[in-house]
Amino acid sequence: MKISINRGSCNSYVIGSLIIDAPVGVKFPSGIERIALTHEHCDHIAGIGELNAEVCASKFTIESITKNNENACLCNFLDMEYPKITKHRVLKEGDMLEESGITLTVIETPGHCAGALCFYSEDQRTLFSGDTVFPDFALPRTDLPTSDYEKLKKSYKKLAKLDVETIYPGHGEMVKNKEYVKKILEQL
């Protein structure tokens, strides 16, 4: 699986014509057709306007962006502009995204925020975690308006059941540790 990593206000990953998260300050390659959003925080969505692509995200995330919901997106808090969505697809647990021979399964992982999703490739044993999982055993914030610590713990329990060798987080370096999420659960 060929993955390009772009670093802006957060990490963005490119697989063929699919990009996972769209931060500002990133030069996106041409030919991007879909943007899969891990969650609604503005540091992950503010670059949407630079692309004429279908936005794929949870219902909560799509509605939060289209309604400029500050409690959810935190754009004013992060001093960023709300993006405009021209076309979208609502994703839910178990949906699939296909790209360049890779199948990504949608996993709902609320906790850091209400609309959080992770994208899992079973064949590649790879997880794109957004801000649900951070490197260095750091925990995401759960003091934000739509955060919920108990839901985050449930999300970790769900992720701990997956066969994951590599995690691509929303911030920081990738994690190569088969037991990583289980070890995070132990520290909770």
Is-contact 163 125, C-beta < 8 A? yes
Sheet holding 34-36, edge to edge: 4-7, 11-15, 18-20, 34-36, 54-58, 88-91
**Greatest alpha-carbon span in the chain:** 42
CATH of residue 156's domain is 3.60.15.10
What is the extent of the structural domain holding 11? Answer: 4-187
| 71's tokens | 């409690």
Predicted local distance difference test score (pLDDT) of residue 1? 64
pLDDT value at position 2? 75
Which residue stretches of the chain have pLDDT < 50? none
**Cα dihedral sign, 133-131-98-24:** negative
pTM for the model stands at: 0.96
Number of domains in the chain: 1
**What is the predicted pLDDT for the residue at 8?**
79
Pairing type for strands 18-20 and 11-15 reads antiparallel
31 vs 28, 43, 119, CA distance in Å? 9, 22, 21
Give the whole-number percent of the chain exceeding pLDDT 90.
87
Q: Tell me the pLDDT tens digit for each residue of 82-102.
A: 999 989 999 999 999 999 999
